[in-house]
Amino acid sequence: MSNGVKQSTILVVDDSETNIEMVLAILDNYDVIPATCGKDALDIAANEHIDLILLDILMPEMSGFEVCKKLKENEKTKFIPVIFLTAQKDEDSIEAAYLIGGVDYVTKPFKPVELLARVKVHLKLQNLIQRLQFLATRDSLTGIYNRRKFFELAEQMFATYDENLYAIMLDIDFFKRVNDNYGHDAGDIVLQKTTEIISGLLPLTSVFGRLGGEEFGVILTAPSYEKVIHLLDKIVSTYANTDIKIGPKQKVRCTISCGMSPKYKYTSSIDELLKEADAALYEAKKTGRNKRIV
């Protein structure tokens, strides 16, 4: 497409090359990836960015039902909408298709305009769902996880990892002064830049959220306690030494305090782990700020 809008990618799965050719001709405005068997389809869905799947039912090695079931069992592919496109017209097949997670059912021979219209509807719905999911889970000012999503992911991380899980709480020092001296908009910029600076230092797999005002939480896994200490020192010193531009000619520097707790010491619950990190943060504030306490 020449208008700069990202084209949707549709995976078309059918054992018949002729059928695929026909669908390709109808979907000529989209990026279409063909697959002639279930195994290839699952591989592609797991490794490429796919927005929608058109799935045949009758295929020699793996039926469309089995493919759909496997797609729904995989975290990476479970949210891709699946439209069945099949010669099967019996009610049992239709019922089964929806039961295992299909969003629509089109029978062959189909009317091209109808297939195209259904594809458009489901791509639009998918887009809306993704936007809603983003809005529901992100902090609107900084784009990092909001409080609710942070605690949800923290809980999952706690259930998944043992010894090497760590919780960190961070709070900007004397942030109120930024608002008082430079205005609330400048304060907002500082909050945004703060998350950028910290994100840039965290391992990619960390869960990073804004818990409220100028307070942030991190849950991460690390190979050792020492590595986490090193990371905290890096965050504290980098933050204190970074100019934050709040206007054409104005810049400020802030400091941050943080507290950390390791799961191997506080294994009863995620709440206890976070409470311990919070207590350490409180200690950092009480003993001078611009530091980490573990």
Binding site for ligand GH3 (CB under 6 A): 141, 171-176, 179, 184, 187-188, 191, 213-214, 285, 289
Positions in 171-200 near Mg ion (CB under 5 A)? 171-172, 175
CB of 272 to ligand GH3, least distance (A): 23
For residue 270, the SS3 value is: helix
E strand or H helix that includes residue 169 = strand 165-172
Site for Mg ion in 136-175 (CB under 5 A): 171-172, 175
- 13/189 with CB nearer ligand GH3: 189
Which partner, Mg ion, ligand GH3, none, binds residue 66 by CB below 5 to 8 Å per kind?
Answer: none
| Cβ pair 280, 260 in contact under 8 A | yes
Radius of gyration of the chain (CA): 25
Query: Rounded to the nearest whole angstrom, what is the least distance from the CB of residue 251 to Mg ion in the complex?
Result: 20
**Beta-ladder partners of 166:** 220, 262
Specify the residue, 176 or 230, whose C-beta has the smaller distance to ligand GH3.
Answer: 176
Residue type present at position 34: P
Mark residue 290 as left, alpha or beta (left: phi above 0; alpha: psi -120 to 50; beta: remaining). Answer: left
Q: How far is the CB of 285 from ligand GH3 (least distance, A)?
A: 5
* Partner whose footprint covers residue 12, from ligand GH3, Mg ion, none (CB < 5 to 8 Å by kind): none
**Binder among 37, 58, 94, 240 for Mg ion (CB under 5 A):** 58
Q: Does 15 bind Mg ion (CB under 5 A)?
A: yes
Furthest-apart CA atoms within the chain: distance in Å: 75
Residue 276 interacting entry, from ligand GH3, Mg ion, none, C-beta within 5 to 8 Å by type: none
Choose between 104 and 214: whose C-beta lies nearer to ligand GH3.
Answer: 214
Q: Which is nearer to ligand GH3, 15 or 188 (CB)?
A: 188
Could you give the angle at the alpha carbon of 84 between the alpha carbons of 81 and 101, nearest 5°?
50
Which one of ligand GH3, Mg ion, none is in contact with 188 (Cβ closer than 5 to 8 A by kind)?
ligand GH3
Region from 13-21, 179-187, 190-198, 237-245 binding Mg ion, contact rule CB under 5 A: 13-21
Contact of residue 104 among Mg ion, ligand GH3, none (CB under 5-8 Å per partner type)? none
218 Cβ neighbours under 8 A, 6+ residues apart: 167, 168, 169, 170, 198, 202, 206, 207, 208, 209
- Is residue 239 at the binding interface for Mg ion, with CB under 5 A as the rule? no
Residues near 11 by Cβ (< 8 Å), separated by ≥ 6? 32, 33, 35, 41, 44, 45, 48, 50, 52, 53, 54, 80
Tell me the C-alpha to C-alpha distance, in Å, between residue 56 and each of 62, 82, 87, 121. Answer: 10, 10, 8, 19
